[in-house]
């Protein structure tokens, strides 16, 4: 039995169900009127420049990736121009919307004040000043636009709804905190079950957390996975 056999899509109680094919958003095409201006804007934000290919006189492709993102943006000459396309409205997920706004301002970006309500209606409709009073995930925002009017909405998310993933930290302190959390939740299982490889439990727990489960749901999922492994071992 593998982790994929037990953990292959999430239900509302934190357990995954079999059958889903994993699909990850890879690229978003942006309409821009000036390729070099757009490139300078996004590299100034600290976004990674993945490619700048002048393939032909009338065809140039530029790709950049936001820090920590698995998806990238792509624009260029002969790709998608601002003259023939409406500006895009795109979403970035952040852990601390206030810190994210401060970073944008430090890079010379005219970011909106932090607001709550909704970040997806036209203009400023439905926006209330300040972060969500209860600081609930999915409820606090800031926004900014690039030189071509493509609008980016930053949404604060610290706890995913079940089935949503991609929130594991990538910085050292964040990873240390996550491993501490994992160790604490593994402890009761370790004390109540036969000897086993702790890394198997950790892998199942972290996989569950990556796919949006709460710590409690991840513990349950890791327990089910380990029960399957332990029951499969010949007595």
- The Cα 49–Cα 167 span in angstroms is 23
Q: What superfamily does domain 89-158 belong to in CATH?
A: 2,3-Dihydroxybiphenyl 1,2-Dioxygenase, domain 1 (3.10.180.10)
Q: Domain extents for the chain?
A: 1-11+18-85, 89-158, 167-232
pLDDT of 117: 86
Residues 54, 60: contact at Cβ < 8 Å? yes
Task: Kindly report the CATH number that applies to the domain delimited by 1-11+18-85.
Answer: 3.10.180.10
The reply to whether 1-11+18-85 and 89-158 are identical in fold is yes
pLDDT of 63: 94
Bridge-based pairing state of the strands 59-65 and 72-77: antiparallel
Bridge-based pairing state of the strands 89-94 and 115-117: unpaired
Report the 3 state secondary structure along 100-154: HHHHHHHCCCCCCCCEEECCCCCCCCCEEECCCCCCCCCCEEEEEECCCCCEEEE
- The Cα 221–Cα 208 span in angstroms is 7
Average pLDDT by stretches of 10, the chain with 235 residues: 42 50 80 95 95 91 89 89 74 90 95 88 82 91 93 85 64 86 94 92 89 84 90 63
pLDDT of 83: 65
pLDDT of 134: 92
- The Cα 159–Cα 175 span in angstroms is 16
Q: Which helix (H) or strand (E) holds 213?
A: none
- Three-state SS at 190: helix
């Amino acid at each position: 039995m593998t982790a994929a056999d037990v953990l292959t899509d999430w239900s509302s109680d934190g357990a995954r169900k079999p059958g889903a094919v994993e699909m990850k958003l890879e690229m978003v095409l942006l309409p821009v009127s000036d390729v070099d201006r757009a490139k300078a804007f996004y590299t100034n934000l600290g976004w990674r420049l993945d490619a700048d290919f002048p393939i032909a006189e009338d065809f140039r492709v530029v790709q950049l990736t936001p820090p920590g993102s698995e998806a990238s943006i792509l624009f260029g000459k002969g790709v998608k121009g601002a003259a023939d396309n409406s500006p895009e409205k795109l979403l970035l997920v952040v852990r601390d919307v206030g810190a994210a706004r401060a970073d944008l301002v430090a890079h010379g970006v005219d970011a909106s004040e932090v607001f709550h309500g909704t970040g997806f209606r036209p203009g400023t409709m439905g926006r209330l000043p300040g972060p969500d009073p209860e600081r609930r995930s999915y409820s606090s925002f800031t926004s900014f636009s690039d030189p071509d009017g493509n609008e980016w909405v930053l949404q604060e998310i610290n706890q995913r709804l079940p089935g949503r993933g991609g929130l594991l930290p990538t910085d050292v302190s964040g990873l240390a905190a996550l491993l501490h959390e994992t160790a604490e939740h593994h402890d009761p299982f370790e004390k109540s079950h036969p000897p086993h490889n702790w890394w198997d439990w950790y892998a199942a727990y972290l996989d569950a957390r990556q796919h949006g489960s709460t710590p409690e749901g991840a513990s349950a999922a890791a327990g089910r996975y380990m029960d399957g492994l332990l029951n499969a071992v010949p007595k």
